[in-house]
Amino acid sequence: MELLKSYLKDHPDQRFGQAIFNLGINQFKETIDPRHPNYTLRDIYNDGDDEIVKRMKRQIEWFELQQKVNEGISKAKSLEATTVNERLYLTGLMDLFKKYKETEVEFAKFILKSIGVDYESIDQILS
């Protein structure tokens, strides 16, 4: 409840229903065919409290990462004609990238994509 309370305090523009969806408490049913997305809410009745709290913490971490990436990119004067390591250093994202490369690959991909690394290079870096 404290996570939800803190999130709502930090985001007063969001309604309660938006907050519980944004934090991953409620989720859509899994889509089998991406051409036909399923926008029906999944029944979370059997989800354990620990599982829901874990989803909430991951979502909060995801939102914080997005903010840090945006701040890092806006602080860097130019990333053109720089290597991936230089881009990570200039944006202040090197430590976060190293952390997420080991713990949360999707977050690491987001960092690389955000600093202008192409998909082929991302695959090579993360493999």
**Residue 77: its pLDDT value, please?**
85
What pTM was computed for the model?
Answer: 0.85
Which residues, 6+ apart, have CB-to-CB distance to 125 below 8 Å?
84, 112, 117
Rounded to the nearest 10°, the torsion over CA 66, 67, 72, 73 is 60
pLDDT digits (tens, 9 = 90+) for 47-102: 999 999 999 999 999 999 999 999 999 999 889 899 999 999 999 999 999 999 99
